[in-house]
Amino acid sequence: MGESLLQDIRYPEDLRKLPAGELDRVADALRAELVRLAASNGGHFAGSLGTVELTVALHYAFETPRDRLIWDVGHQAHGHKALTGRREELPRIKRSDGPSGFLRRSESAYDVFGAGHAGTSVSAGLGIAEAMRRQGSDARVVSVIGDGAATCGMAFEALNHAGEIGVDLKVVLNDNGMSIAPSVGGLARSGGYRAYFESLGIGYAGPVDGHDLAALLEAVRELRDATGPQVLHVKTRKGRGYAPAEADPFGWHATSPFDVASGERAPAASGGPPSWTEAFADALARLADRDPRLVAITAAMPDGTGLDRFARSHPERVYDVGIAEQHAVTFAAGLAAEGQRPVCAIYSSFLQRAFDQIVHDVALQRLPVIFALDRAGLVGADGPTHHGALDLSYLRMIPGLVVAAPRDENELQHLLATALESDRPFALRFPRGAAPGVPLDPDPKPLPIGRGEVLREGRDVALVALGKTVAAAQQAADLLAVRGISAAVVDARFVKPLDDRTLTRVAKQCGAVLTVEDHAIHGGFGSAVLELLADTAPEVAIRRLGIPDRFLEHGSVEEQWRAAGIDADSIAAQVLRWLDGDAS
């Protein structure tokens, strides 16, 4: 019955034809659909369960898409996708032939503003509402933001501005006590939302039970008809309606496939290599054992960055600052200014939000902050909002900042030791997924800064690679050897400073250099090598491989590497075309 009910609701206008008394049945059917979807596919889960009734009430009370409904991130918007023409596509979510896991303007008119990072909905909504006012439109604008995302500095800035200009913006605060991990900060702890919003000149209503559809619909209608900036405070439960997720919303934020009846999840493969994240956390713990100055900082991602693992042995050395990357970096700078050795563990794509703080508060003052950039490079299913494809470009231009990338987990622990002992700002990038599984040296030791390693000598072409692409370069060299081509392989290890002596020697020896990186082709590692050899070996021919100048869509990492041409087969094919005289 529930599934047939949803089949009759392809778009919100179908929902709005129903009597209000039917909405509870719609919510029950939608929640069951989301549970079935996650059980089959895995993925982000608990957040959307908590917003089922809110999603139904908003689309029922507002005339979407004419009225603009703006969601923060996308974790809480799978129900929104199901009610806006994409229900049949959701089983393929995050696959290359399916919809994005986040909000995308190009995907649907109902996705008013694209979002994969938290904290954007109030700023975007305010801009949209002001544009509507200037154009004389009476369309309404409502922004949904989670209480965890509301810790973002940008959300505070937007609310402050909304109170100043007084435009008709409606904000729904989805308060479930969580971002991914439990929400942090004085506002969440005190619950003083009314005083806070009213002090900014913003009307406040609530809190209202976000799972009582009758009460919620009444509150949403009042919000719809109010004028000026307004906040509706809605109390929800992350994971609502699925008992295992309600009991552990942190653990069920994202999930592997599971059995609906028992909640038993598909077992993780055992006996394989650790993830890069696990390797980082374990190396950090070993270094913390011997250096009492070391502390770690996360911006609401303790599990994603491995700091929950680190905290098991060093709980007093971890700070979760909430979804506030700018504050995380300057907080780290303050710690470093007084002799601590802070490690900022932040995804590569999220660190983009704190560029000025890296420049002004860390590098300019030469403070020894270590940036651990997880999810560097192409990340697969999360797609272009989460690809860590720009960090080398935006970091290597900063004076005094060391930038490095390990090829395996053993090199990772040694580079962490290098960063800790360097007394310099230091950025260390590593990818998502399983590490190569190499044996670890018993004691992490510093490596010479700016020194790479020649893994294979050659005479015809030098494959100069960085981080994860080193393994692909080695495999490509094997493929080329079968064709009679002798390829040197260099693990550059450092992007800044480059190993100018080694790179120049190998370049002159081979006469041809191909750089390979899991990063944007413009301004990254290959560009750095090109700049170096233009001065030291201008006679050497140079080609670069990296992520092309476009946003690569979601899908598997393997598909994305083939699209970028940085897998072993593509590297070897590029060399063969080049040496055969193909200029393409």
Give the model confidence (pLDDT) of 449-481 as tens digits: 999 999 999 999 999 999 999 999 999 999 999
Residue 198 sits in the same domain as residue 60 = yes
Cα→Cα distances 464→492, 516, 543, Å = 7, 6, 10
Q: CB-based contacts of 309: which residues, under 8 Å, 6+ apart? A: 277, 278, 281, 282, 285
Active site residue 238: yes
Single residue among 214, 238, 262 that ends a domain in this structure? 238
* DSSP structure class, residue 20: G
Q: What are phi and psi of 510, to 5 degrees?
A: -95, -30
Residue 407 sits in the same domain as residue 459 = no
Q: Which residues partner with 255 through β-bridges?
A: 43
d(CA 105, CA 113): 6
Residue 12 sits in the same domain as residue 159 = yes
Structure token pair of residue 538: 């201008």
Cα→Cα distances 275→143, 272, 471, Å = 36, 9, 16
pLDDT tens-place string over residues 52-84:
999 999 999 999 999 999 998 778 888 999 999
Count the Cβ atoms, other than its own, within 10 Å of residue 106. 7
CA 525 from chain center: how many Å?
A: 21
Residue 213's domain comprises 2-238
Q: Is 260 part of a structural domain of the chain?
A: no
Residue 357 sits in the same domain as residue 457 = no
What local confidence, expressed as pLDDT, does residue 582 receive? 61
pLDDT tens-place string over residues 530-583:
999 999 999 999 999 999 999 989 989 999 999 999 999 999 999 999 988 764
Active site residue 17: no
Residue 18 sits in the same domain as residue 123 = yes
Of residues 75, 125, 114, 79, the one with CA closest to residue 323: 75
Whether 130 and 167 have beta carbons less than 8 Å apart is answered as: yes
Of residues 519, 278, 551, 503, the one with CA closest to residue 403: 519
What local confidence, expressed as pLDDT, does residue 466 receive? 97
Low-confidence ranges of the chain (pLDDT < 50): 1, 583-584
State the DSSP H helix or E strand holding residue 374, giving kind and residue range, or none if neither: strand 370-374
Burial pattern 262-299, b for ≥16 Cβ within 10 A else e, equals ebebeeeeeeeebbbbebbbbbbbbbbeeeeebbbbbb
Residue 324 sits in the same domain as residue 209 = no
Q: Which residues partner with 373 through β-bridges?
A: 346, 429
In this structure, which amino acid lies at residue 222? E
* Number of residues in the chain: 584
Residue 417 sits in the same domain as residue 344 = yes
Residue 362 sits in the same domain as residue 472 = no
Q: Is 262 part of a structural domain of the chain?
A: no
Q: Is 169 part of a structural domain of the chain?
A: yes
d(CA 482, CA 575): 13
Q: Is 135 part of a structural domain of the chain?
A: yes
What local confidence, expressed as pLDDT, does residue 193 receive? 87
Residue 415 sits in the same domain as residue 460 = no
Catalytic residue among 104, 170, 238, 468: 238
CA angle 512, 514, 519 (to 5 degrees): 160
Which CATH number is 104's domain given?
3.40.50.970
CA angle 404, 407, 408 (to 5 degrees): 120
Of residues 121, 226, 128, the one with CA closest to residue 174: 121
Single residue among 185, 212, 238 that ends a domain in this structure? 238
Residue 280 sits in the same domain as residue 418 = yes
The owner of tokens 């004028």 is 227
Which CATH number is 458's domain given?
3.40.50.920
How many domains, the chain? 3
What local confidence, expressed as pLDDT, does residue 340 receive? 95
Single residue among 184, 218, 238 that ends a domain in this structure? 238
Q: Is 336 part of a structural domain of the chain?
A: yes
What local confidence, expressed as pLDDT, does residue 475 receive? 98
Q: Is 271 part of a structural domain of the chain?
A: no
Of residues 65, 214, 231, the one with CA closest to residue 140: 65
Catalytic residue among 33, 325, 411, 517: 325
Q: Is 483 part of a structural domain of the chain?
A: yes
Active site residue 411: no
CA angle 24, 259, 300 (to 5 degrees): 75
d(CA 526, CA 513): 10
Residue 217 sits in the same domain as residue 308 = no
Residue 15 sits in the same domain as residue 160 = yes
Whether 201 and 164 have beta carbons less than 8 Å apart is answered as: yes
Catalytic residue among 140, 317, 341, 353: 353
Of residues 354, 345, 448, 425, the one with CA closest to residue 394: 354
What local confidence, expressed as pLDDT, does residue 584 receive? 47
Q: What one-character-per-residue DSSP string does 398-458 give?
A: STT-EEE--SSHHHHHHHHHHHHHH-S-EEEE--SSB---PPPPSS-----TT--EEEE--
Q: CB-based contacts of 186: which residues, under 8 Å, 6+ apart? A: none
Q: Which residues partner with 463 through β-bridges?
A: 489, 514
Q: Is 267 part of a structural domain of the chain?
A: no
